[in-house]
Amino acid sequence: MRTIMMLIAFFLLSTAVAEEYEYWPGARYDASIPSVEDVLGYASGERITWHRDTVRYFEALAAAAPDRVRVYRYGETWEGRELIYVVVSSASNIARLDEIKANMRALRDPASTSRAEADRIIANQPAVTWLSYGVHGNEISSTDAAMMTAYHLLAAGNDPRVDEILENTVVVIDPMQNPDGRDRFIHRYETAKGLLPDSDRISAEQNEPWPSGRTNHYLFDMNRDWFMMTQPETQGRVRAVQEFYPVAFVDAHEMGSNSTYYFAPEAIPYNPHLAADQRASLELFGRTNARWFDEFGIDYFTREVYDAFYPGYGASWPSYFGSIAMTYEQSSSRGLVVRKYDGVEMPYRDTVRGHFVTSLGTAETVANNRRKFLEDFYDYQVSAVEEGRSGNVRSYIIPAQRDQAGANKLAGLLVQQGVEVGRATSSFSACGRSYDAGSYVINLAQPAKRLVRTLLDPDVPLDADFLAEQERRRAKKLPDQIYDVTAWSLPLMMNVETDACGRTVSGDFAAAGPDLVLPGSLAGPTDAAAFLVPWGEAPAIRLLANAHRQGLAVKSTDKAFTHDGTRYPSGTLIFDSADNPADLRDLLAALAEDTGATVTAVSSTWVTDGPNFGSGNVVRMNAPRVAIAWDEPTSQYSAGNTRFVVERQFDYPVTAIRTRQLGSADLRRYQVLILPESYDGYAGTLGDGGAENLRDWVERGGVLITVGNATRFAADPSVDLVSIRREDAYVDAAVTESVPEAADEEDPKATVAGTIIGDDDEYATLTTPAETGPDSVGGVLLKARVDGDHWLGAGVSESLNVLARGSDIFTPARLDAGVNVARFESADDVLASGYLWDDNRQQLAYKPFAVAEPKGNGYVVAFTQDPNVRAYLDGLNVIFMNAIFRGSAHARPVR
């Protein structure tokens, strides 16, 4: 009550300087704290602030108020920009920051912190609010809002909320989650600018060139990366956030210019692994934000569009350690000013202000509910442990397995996210099965139980009401409201066998560590005739890539063989001592250590079954020069993420070539060309000449790899680089026949033939748009079966899980044209996880995922879905890298 009275007085008495734009009307700022203008030379919102200037401003704040501000570095981007977070609180809280962090770790761990102890901690513990900005670099306003927020908290002595926020809370500000993307945006915006900032949407400065600033250097959407942590920015954040365990976490974004402002409560569907009180708390923040927006006359909406079903968002991942995580979305000015469709000009500073007001509103909500949020946080851990102890799934077990490197990576990923994982030091039995030493065990009676369930369960169900509504909308040909993929199960995506068990498992377990790759080794006699590396795991691919870069001679078998009683799979690498430098053993031992691969030295090349190393079934591997189509019209995600997988997960360089140059470029230097997915298709950019150029190059021995919808281009009858064809939606003949004949398109008359519509079905058919493709799918995991006899399937698991999105379905190749090396399972078995329209399920059955077709001396390898989405489909790594390394080994260019 006292606060409200003070706030009223604050507004009535305040007499602000009239000319200045007021971020918070009536605020009077302490002159000893530097403003944005003092440090950077322009008022907040007058320019879009660069990364280096943002860092400079926060350092100036820390220099002016070292007792209340600390700046920490938490990582570095691919382009070398530093990632920082800034801690703002009262001097007494800052002085005991380590203790505050230790207290949050104690509240996170109810096994060692009793309720009485928790109560004692909570009595004297500030709650942490985490405000993160600009994960999408072209969503510009939030970073400038971050600076204003910190400034206000330190300098607005007459805002009575400030003292309460600083006393009751610690505010952590991550001002720029994506520096590379933001600076990319600013550079190109500034480059296009003229005499005045242009508000016209058709102006160059309002239209970013490819790739947009949304993504980081490797063109990732980092707001999907939180649980797979493929990017250094995400890795740093996951570490930093777990140092503080904030009770509230905001991820500030921008949306289309014609929108208003969005904040929590979020839209349905809710993830069922969220706790009920987390949902209820969202409303506390929403009401505070709404109160200030009413005060200032700012429009907003809640509960629509933005859901948190997928756990890889900034606005969802922190929920799984007990935080209240939210996305805030400000309509974007896309520059210094934009003209909305209604004619209103929206300047940048208005958008900065939107995020500034909600940032303060968020910190205020935490300050006013400090005790409740801390108690909820502790209760969240207690109930998670209890659910894990009593639920239908009480443990997950990752057995020692064929792809042990995949199992190790999965365990390490979980550990990095705060999951307790045990590694068996001896064999044990559980749920009717025995497990070898080296198996991993995750007992769910632990605080991270809900995270484990949402990441490892084969399926996370969508709410039945939500699904019914989507089917209703689909029947009416309205777009569905599924915002992202509906399947992300890590064991399926990584193709790592994982068992659920209804019991808590006991045995001899050592705590597993956070490493994603365990060192490999080289074993066997020193008088080696050859060294063998079994194929089928990521480390062997990394070893091959590095061996190629070092110029080592390597061969590979297309068929499995037995040597000295050991069975080696097809694809096994063979390094002959005679063909390689004298220090081959040392070179391979170092590569094994770094890559995690297992190398076996053999003193004789004699095999007891399968092809000898000089057989026609053994091919010489050549270090291919690999190119990828870059720039318009490629999808920046597909181009960037594919390049990342090859370059950073497998250490092999890729040359990016702008697509428009592919039409006429001499490609003979390259043995492999990857066409990533495309928004608009390649036909317009490449033209007939481009298709001809690619065909010539393939026929001379090139390997063309089409990714996802790039296969449309290769499969277009006018291009015909691959024999498969894209299908229309299947239509039941009985339904079509009952519908009266539509008008003849050639009919020159102004009117068309009369119809009688007899029932709802006929009406639906007649009103269906001429668009003939299958309905689009948000993202599901489908099972595919692999033909291991083909080199593209060498060492690949017999069964793959493919992330299927969009509407593409292709006919299978006829065997005289090529081989369907991976094809989807039958309609009954095809769906591994997620929500799939029944018509699509029926039509996708038996259709191809990966097709290899010889063409002249080269090959076309067509993937009908993108195997490299978000670089998180590890289970598809081997087949994709086979296309590169084995495709070029089997092609026959003139060398």
Taking a C-beta distance cutoff of 8 angstroms, is the pair 439, 433 a contact? no
CB 790 to Zn ion: min, Å: 42
Contact window for Zn ion (CB under 5 A) among 251-259, 453-461, 600-608, 858-866: 251-259
Of 98, 464, 93, which is closest to residue 269 (Cα–Cα)?
A: 464
CB 214 to Zn ion: min, Å: 7
Taking a C-beta distance cutoff of 8 angstroms, is the pair 451, 321 a contact? yes
- CA torsion, points 389, 393, 396, 397, in degrees to nearest 10? 110
The smaller minimum CB distance to Zn ion, of residues 253 and 823, is found at 253
Contact window for Zn ion (CB under 5 A) among 131-139, 647-655, 736-744, 797-805: 131-139
Q: What are phi and psi of 361, to 5 degrees?
A: -60, -35
CB 653 to Zn ion: min, Å: 31
CB 223 to Zn ion: min, Å: 6
CB 43 to Zn ion: min, Å: 25
State CA 434 to chain mean position distance.
35
The dihedral sign for the CA sequence 284, 289, 291, 292: positive
The smaller minimum CB distance to Zn ion, of residues 130 and 682, is found at 130
| Omega within 30 of 0 (cis) for the link into 211 | yes
Kindly list the distances between the CA atom of residue 592 and the CA atoms of 318, 517, 523, in Å, as whole numbers in the listed order: 36, 11, 10
**Residue choice 108, 136, 182, 790 for contact with Zn ion (CB under 5 A):** 136
CB 139 to Zn ion: min, Å: 5
The smaller minimum CB distance to Zn ion, of residues 177 and 495, is found at 177
Contact window for Zn ion (CB under 5 A) among 135-143, 457-465, 718-726, 732-740: 135-143
Three-state SS sequence of 276-318 = HHHHHHHHHHHHHHHHHHHHHCCCCECCCCCCCCCCCCCCCHH
CB 485 to Zn ion: min, Å: 17
The smaller minimum CB distance to Zn ion, of residues 330 and 408, is found at 330
Contact window for Zn ion (CB under 5 A) among 65-73, 130-138, 606-614, 723-731: 130-138
The smaller minimum CB distance to Zn ion, of residues 263 and 670, is found at 263
- The strand pair at 598-602 and 530-533 is best described as antiparallel
DSSP 359-399: HHHHHHHHHHTHHHHHHHHHHHHHHHHHHHHHSS--EEEE-
CB 132 to Zn ion: min, Å: 11
CB 865 to Zn ion: min, Å: 25
- Residue 253 binds Zn ion, judged by CB under 5 A: yes
Q: Could you give the 3-state DSSP secondary structure of residue 852?
A: strand
The smaller minimum CB distance to Zn ion, of residues 139 and 457, is found at 139
CA distance 656 to 681: 18
Q: What are phi and psi of 616, to 5 degrees?
A: -65, -15
- Residue 224 binds Zn ion, judged by CB under 5 A: no
Q: Could you give the 3-state DSSP secondary structure of residue 150?
A: helix
Contact window for Zn ion (CB under 5 A) among 12-20, 128-136, 226-234, 801-809: 128-136
CB 222 to Zn ion: min, Å: 10
How many residues are present in the chain?
A: 895
Contact window for Zn ion (CB under 5 A) among 23-31, 134-142, 601-609, 802-810: 134-142
The smaller minimum CB distance to Zn ion, of residues 189 and 262, is found at 262
- Residue 450 binds Zn ion, judged by CB under 5 A: no
Size of the site for Zn ion (CB under 5 A): 3
Q: Could you give the 3-state DSSP secondary structure of residue 815?
A: coil
Taking a C-beta distance cutoff of 8 angstroms, is the pair 760, 771 a contact? no
562's tokens: 């037995």
Contact window for Zn ion (CB under 5 A) among 118-126, 148-156, 246-254, 351-359: 246-254
The smaller minimum CB distance to Zn ion, of residues 139 and 233, is found at 139
CB 484 to Zn ion: min, Å: 12
CB 858 to Zn ion: min, Å: 41
Of 265, 358, 353, 252, which is closest to residue 306 (Cα–Cα)?
A: 265
- What one-letter code names the amino acid at 53? D
The smaller minimum CB distance to Zn ion, of residues 482 and 545, is found at 482
CA distance 394 to 380: 17
Beta partners for 423?
440, 510
CB 315 to Zn ion: min, Å: 10
CA distance 132 to 130: 6
The smaller minimum CB distance to Zn ion, of residues 139 and 225, is found at 139
Beta partners for 87?
70, 172
Contact window for Zn ion (CB under 5 A) among 155-163, 252-260, 316-324, 547-555: 252-260
The smaller minimum CB distance to Zn ion, of residues 146 and 501, is found at 146
H or E segment and range at residue 359: helix 348-368
Contact window for Zn ion (CB under 5 A) among 104-112, 129-137, 588-596, 778-786: 129-137
CB 776 to Zn ion: min, Å: 21
The smaller minimum CB distance to Zn ion, of residues 253 and 785, is found at 253
The smaller minimum CB distance to Zn ion, of residues 136 and 585, is found at 136
By CB under 5 A, what part of segment 65-124 binds Zn ion?
Answer: none
Taking a C-beta distance cutoff of 8 angstroms, is the pair 376, 275 a contact? no
Taking a C-beta distance cutoff of 8 angstroms, is the pair 847, 865 a contact? no
15 burial via Cβ count (<10 Å: 0-12, 13-18, 19+) = exposed
| Omega within 30 of 0 (cis) for the link into 854 | no
The smaller minimum CB distance to Zn ion, of residues 251 and 364, is found at 251
Contact window for Zn ion (CB under 5 A) among 250-258, 477-485, 716-724, 744-752: 250-258
**787-796 in b/e burial notation, b at 16+ Cβ within 10 A?**
bbebbbbbbb
CB 256 to Zn ion: min, Å: 11
**222-232 in b/e burial notation, b at 16+ Cβ within 10 A?**
bbbbbbbbbbb
The smaller minimum CB distance to Zn ion, of residues 140 and 878, is found at 140
Q: Which residues contact 692 (CB under 8 A, 6 or more apart)?
A: none
Q: Which residues contact 470 (CB under 8 A, 6 or more apart)?
A: 480, 481, 482, 835
CB 482 to Zn ion: min, Å: 18
The smaller minimum CB distance to Zn ion, of residues 136 and 152, is found at 136
The dihedral sign for the CA sequence 710, 711, 716, 717: positive
CB 342 to Zn ion: min, Å: 23
Residue closest to Zn ion when measured from CB atoms: 253
CB 273 to Zn ion: min, Å: 23
Contact window for Zn ion (CB under 5 A) among 247-255, 394-402, 784-792, 869-877: 247-255
Contact window for Zn ion (CB under 5 A) among 26-34, 245-253, 546-554, 836-844: 245-253
Beta partners for 440?
398, 423
Contact window for Zn ion (CB under 5 A) among 136-144, 392-400, 647-655, 860-868: 136-144
The smaller minimum CB distance to Zn ion, of residues 136 and 449, is found at 136
Kindly list the distances between the CA atom of residue 805 and the CA atoms of 256, 778, 780, in Å, as whole numbers in the listed order: 24, 6, 7
The smaller minimum CB distance to Zn ion, of residues 255 and 553, is found at 255
Residues of this chain that bind Zn ion (CB under 5 A): 136, 139, 253
